[in-house]
């Protein structure tokens, strides 16, 4: 065939086609006409002969995917899954939770499409990969475009041989999936990493942070690079069981003590005149707020980083600590530092003591740390009504049992109906932002409402005279019905 092709490329005006080497060469000679016609005729003949004569070759098959013993997703759910993903449905988080709990796997015919979605869907990527299971991993390992979706812990070649960005991505992902493996790999190579890379890697450790990380972080306190040292301090402050926390506790015990006199128990602060090197190593800085009182700055850092249990041991309880008398000069610093420590150490006892003491003025970051049961009681008692629907209200709802108890849903709906009533009365928006933010509160509550809230919402829609709110309530009721349908399919 190559003889015919080279003659065709050159042109029969300048070259004569040769039929040697053609399977149909003998016959080709009998094709009439001028050289161009003969060439085309011979090519047609040879093509037909070759097309008809194709034979199979021999290939070795690669290893098949591991078997996935989990149950296959019910067919109705499988049919809805791609729609839910295409619509980025609010129900997906809950849907995936049920899927994980019941231990379903994706049907084989959806695995490739799911991997394609997982590539672009940051929110549900890990849930999708779990659903796609070993078959998804098998597929991802073969497709270069899907290498970022490979989650098998034995695939550390990216870490050992990848470019910096690939390694950073691997570490970030692995940190979310299996923090221990990520830490083990990082520890192995830490001392040979370049300074700026160490800074980038240590920043990633905020995800999946745990006591097992304290050794490397302690080591990082002696790093040549300031960013690395600072980041290590940031993270260590969140680990109240570490040696670092113990050193901070020791300092706190030296600087602050309880003075017990009859009827006059109080906290007495006694700050040193200068810092030693070990304090500087632990990130207590010598330079900040010099004009505002360097010693209150030191105190703030130590109290923030010392385990809260220090104060419970010293004073008796979190509530007791918040009530104890403190010299005026130090009072504000102590309260701020305790609040910060509560947030950093995610201490539920202190969070709840703060909420009960400060009420509505409680720092927003503290609220979600209060145990869900207490927060629920607080909301239902009516104390939270004034900021239940505001932007700040979101912190109250974080981590509450899902779905919400009906009385919580009822309380939220009643408050929203009040807002709807005001909209209807004034006949105008209370500012576009206000209406919008209320709608969005309703929408984010939608995924948490129990199914039994749908009739309440429909009743609210009937009662309200504002058409926008009418539709908002009706839509959420319909969405809850839809949510019930897609979740029921999983049973």
Partner 1 sequence: MTSPWSEGQVASVAPDAGSLAAAAKLSGAWSQTGGNGDALWGLCQGSGKSPYRSVVDLTGPAYHCSCPSRKFPCKHALGLLLIWSQGRVPEQSEPPEFANDWLSRRAGRATAVRTPTAPVTTASGAKSAERRAERVAAGLDELDLWLTDQIRGGLGAADISASAFDAIAARMVDAQAPGIASTLRRLPIVVATRADWPDRLLREYARLHLLVVAHRRLSELPEPLQASVRSHVGYPVATDSVRGEPGVRDRWMVLGMQTTEEKRLFTRKVWLLGRDHGRRAILLDFAHGSAHFSTVIPPLGSLVDATLHFYPGAAPLRAQFGDTHETPEPFTTVAPSDMDTALDDFAAAVGADPWIRSWPALLTGVTPAYDDGSWFVADGQGRALPLSGEDPVLWRLLGMSGGSPVTVFGEWTSDSLVPVSVFDRGDVYPLVSGTPSTAGSRR
55-84 binders of partner 1 (CB under 8 A)? 55-65, 75, 78-79, 82-84
Q: How far is the CB of 145 from partner 1 (least distance, A)?
A: 9
Q: List the interface residues with partner 1, window 196-235 (CB under 8 A).
A: none
Tell me which of 3, 25, 35, 372 binds partner 1, using CB under 8 A: 35
**Residue number with CB closer to partner 1 (78 or 180):** 78
Q: How many residues bind partner 1 (CB under 8 A)?
A: 71
Cβ nearer to partner 1, comparing 136 with 283: 136
Which position among 109, 261, 361, 428 is part of the footprint of partner 1 (CB under 8 A)?
Answer: 109
Contact call for residue 427 and partner 1 (CB under 8 A): no
Classify the C-alpha dihedral 120-123-129-131 as positive or negative: negative
Q: How far is the CB of 64 from partner 1 (least distance, A)?
A: 3
Whichever of 142 and 444 has its CB closer to partner 1, that residue is 142
Q: Which positions from 156 through 175 interact with partner 1, judged by CB under 8 A? A: none
Nearer to partner 1, 11 or 371 (CB): 11
Burial call 132-147: b when 16+ CB within 10 Å, e when fewer:
bbebbbbbbeeeeebb
Binding status of residue 267 toward partner 1 by CB under 8 A? no
Cα 141 to Cα 120: distance, rounded to the nearest angstrom: 17
The contacts found for 173-179 with CB under 8 angstroms, 24 or more apart, are 173/148, 175/204, 175/205, 175/207, 175/208, 176/126, 176/207, 176/208, 177/126, 177/151, 178/153, 179/207, 179/208, 179/209, 179/210, 179/212, 179/213
What is the spatial distance between Cα 99 and Cα 487, in angstroms, rounded to a whole number? 9
Q: Does 94 bind partner 1 (CB under 8 A)?
A: no
- Among 20, 69, 86, 287, which residue interacts with partner 1 (rule: CB under 8 A)? 86
- Which residues is 105 bridged to in the sheet? 72
**At closest approach, how far in Å is the CB of 458 from partner 1?**
9
Q: What is each CA distance from 383 to 119, 345, 373, 380, 388, in whole angstroms? A: 44, 26, 15, 8, 9
Nearest distance from C-beta of residue 317 to partner 1, angstroms: 50
How many Å separate Cα 206 from the centre of its chain?
A: 12
Q: Which of residues 277-296 bind partner 1 (CB under 8 A)?
A: none
Paired strand residues for 257? 268
Cα–Cα distance, 461 to 390 (Å, whole number): 21
CB atoms within 10 A of CB 161: 9
Torsion angle in degrees (nearest 10) through CA of 167, 168, 173, 179:
90
Q: Which two tokens stand for residue 300?
A: 């703030």
Residue 423 binds to partner 1 (criterion: CB under 8 A): no
- Select from 41-49, 338-346, 361-369, 408-416 the region that touches partner 1 (CB under 8 A): 41-49
Tokens read off for 47: 């093509």
Q: Is 1 in the site for partner 1 (CB under 8 A)?
A: yes
Exactly one of 20, 26, 52, 226 binds partner 1 (CB under 8 A); that residue is 52
Residue among 108, 222, 286, 332 that touches partner 1 (CB under 8 A): 108
CB nearer to partner 1: pick between 52 and 273 = 52
Binding mask 462-481 for partner 1 (x = CB under 8 A): -----x---x--xxxxxx-x
Cis peptide before 403 (omega within 30 of 0): yes
250 sits in the region (left: phi over 0; alpha: psi -120 to 50; else beta) called alpha
Nearer to partner 1, 58 or 192 (CB): 58
- Which one-letter DSSP state was computed for residue 381? T
Residue 10 found at the interface with partner 1 (CB under 8 A): yes
Q: Distance (Å, rounded) from C-alpha 376 to C-alpha 442?
A: 18
Report if residue 428 touches partner 1, rule: CB under 8 A.
no
Q: How far is the CB of 103 from partner 1 (least distance, A)?
A: 19
Site for partner 1 in 124-143 (CB under 8 A): 135-136, 138-139, 142-143
23 binds partner 1 (CB under 8 A): no
């Amino acid at each position: 065939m190559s003889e015919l092709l080279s003659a065709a490329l050159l042109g029969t005006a300048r070259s004569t086609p040769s039929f040697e080497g053609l399977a149909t060469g003998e016959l080709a000679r009998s094709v009439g006409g001028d050289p161009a016609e003969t060439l085309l005729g011979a090519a047609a003949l040879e093509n037909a002969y070759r097309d008809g004569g194709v034979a199979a070759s021999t290939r070795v098959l690669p290893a098949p995917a591991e078997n996935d013993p989990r149950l296959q997703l019910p067919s109705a759910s499988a049919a809805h899954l791609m729609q839910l993903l295409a619509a980025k449905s609010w129900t997906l988080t809950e849907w995936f939770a049920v899927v994980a709990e019941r231990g379903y796997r994706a049907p084989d015919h959806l695995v490739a499409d799911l991997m394609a979605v997982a590539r672009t869907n940051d929110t549900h990527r890990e849930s999708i990969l779990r659903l796609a299971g070993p078959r998804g991993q098998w597929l991802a390992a073969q497709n270069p475009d899907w290498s970022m979706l490979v989650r098998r812990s034995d695939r550390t070649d990216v870490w050992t041989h990848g470019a910096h960005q690939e390694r950073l991505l691997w570490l970030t992902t692995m940190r979310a999936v299996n923090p221990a493996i990520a830490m083990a790999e990082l520890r192995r190579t830490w001392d040979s990493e370049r300074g700026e890379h160490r800074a980038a890697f240590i920043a990633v450790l905020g995800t999946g942070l745990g006591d097992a990380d304290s050794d490397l972080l302690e080591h990082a306190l002696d790093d040549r690079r300031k960013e690395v040292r600072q980041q290590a301090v940031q993270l260590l402050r969140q680990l109240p069981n570490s040696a670092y926390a113990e050193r901070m506790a020791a300092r706190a015990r030296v600087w602050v003590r309880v003075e017990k006199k009859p009827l006059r128990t109080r906290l007495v602060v006694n700050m040193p005149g200068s810092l030693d090197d070990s304090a500087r190593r632990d990130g207590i800085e010598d330079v900040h707020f010099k004009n505002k009182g360097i010693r209150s700055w030191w105190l703030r850092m130590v109290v923030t980083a010392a385990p809260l249990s220090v104060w419970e041991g010293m004073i008796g309880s979190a509530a007791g600590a918040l009530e104890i008398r403190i010299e005026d000069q130090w009072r504000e610093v102590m309260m701020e530092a305790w609040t910060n420590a509560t947030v950093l150490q995610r201490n539920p006892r202190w969070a709840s003591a703060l909420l009960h003491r400060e009420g509505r003025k409680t720092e927003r970051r503290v609220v979600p740390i209060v145990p869900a049961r207490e927060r629920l009681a607080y909301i239902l008692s009516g104390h939270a009504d004034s900021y239940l629907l505001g932007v700040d209200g979101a912190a109250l709802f974080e981590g509450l049992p899902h779905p919400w108890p009906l009385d919580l849903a009822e309380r939220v709906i009643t408050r929203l109906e009040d807002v709807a009533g005001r909209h209807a009365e004034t006949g105008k928006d209370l500012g576009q932002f206000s209406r919008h933010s209320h709608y969005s509160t309703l929408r984010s509550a939608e995924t948490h409402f129990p199914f039994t809230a749908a009739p309440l919402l429909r009743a609210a829609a009937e009662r309200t005279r504002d058409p926008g709110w009418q539709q908002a309530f009706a839509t959420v009721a319909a969405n809850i019905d839809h949510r019930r349908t897609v979740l029921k399919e999983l049973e």
